[in-house]
Structure 1
Amino acid sequence: MNIHLILQGKGGVGKSYIASIIAQFCNTKGTTLAIDTDPVNATFAGYEGLNVERADIMDGDDINPRRFDALMETIFNANCDDVIIDNGASSFLPLLSYLISNGVIDLFKEYGHTPVIHTVITGGQAQIDTLAGFVKLLDHFGQNGEKLVVWLNEYWGEVVDRNIPFDRMPVYKHNQDKVKAIITIPDLKHETFGEDVAQMLKARQTFDEAISSDTFNFMARQRLMKVKNHLFDAMQTHLAEV
């Protein structure tokens, strides 16, 4: 069983969108369990078509051990191919600390599961913060067989530093052996593709739901199909053997 954890300390950068994409892709390959642990903005749980379960693991600013134990019980008892867990920005540091101090990732591997850590880096104003979140994950994951997947969300602009793209930045070059894959969510023409995707996300629809919906006209459905195919092809290329 693959256990996908979407982790990033910066909010509003597309974590839940990425969680939904992963869940939709995994649904084409087998059975899934989707879980939303965001204590503030449970966006992922709003996707009714993905049957996302809500798991409240926080008690104030800290992880509640009993609630986390219940989450682990749910995961280990899951009879599925992939588990997708979306986590909120406010619980990023407490959850990261709890995962490390309790050896959770090693426990997954010990029982034959494959942990896959996903994070997102954006262009624009949030680039510095999302890069910092990426560095935080590098301190703990990737060196012991964990798979780290970086999603570049270009909605707010390309991820570049003084014209140097992410895959040539020192922070990546010095750690590329820890990164399983880089998947790019391309900058979309906001008046067409971008507006279509934004409308789909606002309605908490999957690609298939939106494409089959009368809410979108013919050309909008074709554009959404093109976006879906781009993302699914990238995941098939980079995550097929996960």
Structure 2
Amino acid sequence: MSKIHVILQGKGGVGKSLIASLLTQYLIHKHSDPKKPLTLIDTDPINKTFSRYDHLPVKSLDIIENDEINQRKFDEIIELIVQSQGDTVIDNGASSFIALSTYIKEMGIPEILQSLGHELIIHTVITGGQALNDTLVGFAQMAHHLKGNTKFIVWLNSYWGEVKSDGKTFEQMAVYKANKESITALIQIPEHKHETFGHDLSTMLNQNLTFDEAINDPDKTIMTRQRLKIMQDDIFKRLDAAVIL
């Protein structure tokens, strides 16, 4: 059974494309079967960050027609999934969050994919700082509308601050307790010092490089490549714990 990973969150700039790239690199690392290549799709109509990685064969899907999102364009995703042999990773933008979420619910996508021998997994991100409440609301909306046959993996991003509300961690919040049966894994994006690890990661992302590309780049210093290797190993170990992948 192949897995269809969809990254969804209604708040922009919280790390969705980062998650898509990290997840893709991990899947390539763990399941590099040439007979079952990954299908990678970028549906973000504004910021197509995922499709900028030269090392990742991402297909950019244009879902805009007459300056509006055309839900029928999402039909192409299903066709691509049917034709694929391996897992699929779909990075969706904040501006098309409602459109794709509604499409998944109204079209019965979890059931359709299951009948085709696939499993739908929704990845979402909860971030600290000013976007905390917006990302919590986005997750709550998805969990409510897609409750039942959909599994969720929640990524916690503390880059802008701790993922806490009134002193409560995410696992202590009401939104987690109300939906914990649908959550199959929590993944904490590693926290690193901005002046060292964080600086190297930001540079790598701005250059649209994968970990392997950056680690093997002779133009980068030995310690930069070492820090990137440490981060890659850390993230991959956390993903190993999410056995559903």
Fold agreement, TM-score > 0.5: yes
Alignment partner of 1:85 is 2:90: yes
2:235 is aligned with what amino acid? L
Match of 1:52 in 2: 58
Of 16, 27, 39, which residue of structure 1 is paired with 2:45? Answer: 39
Structure 2 counterpart of 1:98: 103
Q: Aligned with 2:30: secondary structure?
A: coil
Which residue of 2 is the match for residue 172 of structure 1? 176
List per-residue Cα deviations over 1:21-60 (Å, max 9, x = no partner).
0100111232311110000000000011111110112333
- Within-5 A mapping of 1:140-219: 140-144=145-149, 146-219=150-223
Give structure 2 stretches of 5+ with no counterpart: 32-36
Q: Which runs of 5+ in 1 are unaligned?
A: none
Q: Which residue of 2 aligns with 1:227?
A: 231
Runs of 4 or more, structure 1, over 6 Å off, are none
Provide the TM-score with structure 2 as the length reference: 0.93
What's the RMSD between the two structures over aligned residues? Answer: 1.3
User: TM-score, normalised to structure 1's length?
Assistant: 0.94
Counterpart pick for 2:125 among 112, 120, 125: 120
Superposed displacement of residue 142, structure 1: 4.3
Q: How does 1:2-81 map to 2 (within 5 A)?
A: 2-30=3-31, 31-59=37-65, 60-65=67-72, 67-80=73-86
How far, CA to CA, are the matches of 2:22 and 2:49 in structure 1?
13
Q: How many residues of Structure 1 are paired with residues of Structure 2 in the alignment?
A: 238
1:76 partner letter: V
Distance 1:61 1:129 in 2: 24
1:132 matched to which residue of 2? 137
Q: Percent identity?
A: 45
Looking at structure 2, the residues matched to 62 and 7 of structure 1 have their Cα atoms a distance apart, in angstroms, of 16
Task: Report the Cα distance in structure 2 between the residues aligned to 1:168 and 1:216, rounded to whole angstroms.
Answer: 42
Looking at structure 2, the residues matched to 190 and 39 of structure 1 have their Cα atoms a distance apart, in angstroms, of 30
Question: Structure 2: how far apart are the matches of 1:219 and 1:230?
Answer: 16
Question: How many angstroms does 1:174 deviate by?
Answer: 2.1
CA contact (8 A) 1:61 1:94 kept: no
The SS at the match of 1:139 is helix
